[in-house]
Amino acid sequence: MPIAPLLAAILVLQTADTPPQPAPAEERCGWLVATDDGLRDQPDPMLKPGDPAPLPAPPGGTKAAYCERESISTRAGDQRLLQGGLPLVIRAGGHEGVMELPPTAVFDYHRDGEQYAPGRPPAPVPPAKTPARKPATKKR
């Protein structure tokens, strides 16, 4: 018996016994749009980077896209946003990560409470140095 049909039969049998894999959990995506005091979220249910359909056009003033997921991980289709010139902010469980593609898709904002402010976050102020104390000496 030729080997190719045998391998094809094994593959079919294994595939038939394998349960279907669950679809990835839904993600909620949208745009980060510039305002006078930073960026604001603008949800867009049509923005689905993993869907092979064309991506919707971002609204005017868009500086990045965002997707809320179960974990901070990349998925198929994320690179389409980067190739379109937009960074992607991935949010999960109160944390976020940013995918960039310099020099065209750079995210030059930082989180400030519930907003994104332009530029890098301010450098932390180091604690003031206190003069070293000399150990007390006993008087005789």
- Give the domain ranges of the chain: 34-64+76-87
This prediction has a pTM of 0.68
Instruction: Quote the CA–CA distance of 131 and 129 in Å, as a whole number.
Output: 6
Q: What is the pLDDT of residues 7-46, one digit of tens each?
A: 233 333 333 444 443 445 678 999 999 998 889 999 999 9
DSSP 101: B
Quick count: other Cβ atoms within 10 Å of Cβ 79?
Answer: 14
Percent of the chain with pLDDT strictly greater than 90? 39
* Distance (Å) of CA 33 to CA 10, 116, 124, 131: 52, 10, 27, 48
Among 43, 41, 12, smallest CA distance to 27 is for: 43
Q: What is the pLDDT of residues 70-126, one digit of tens each?
A: 999 999 899 999 998 999 999 999 899 999 988 888 898 888 887 888 887 777 777
Whether pLDDT at 57 is above 90: yes
How many degrees, rounded to 5, is the angle at CA 115 between CA 29 and CA 81? 30
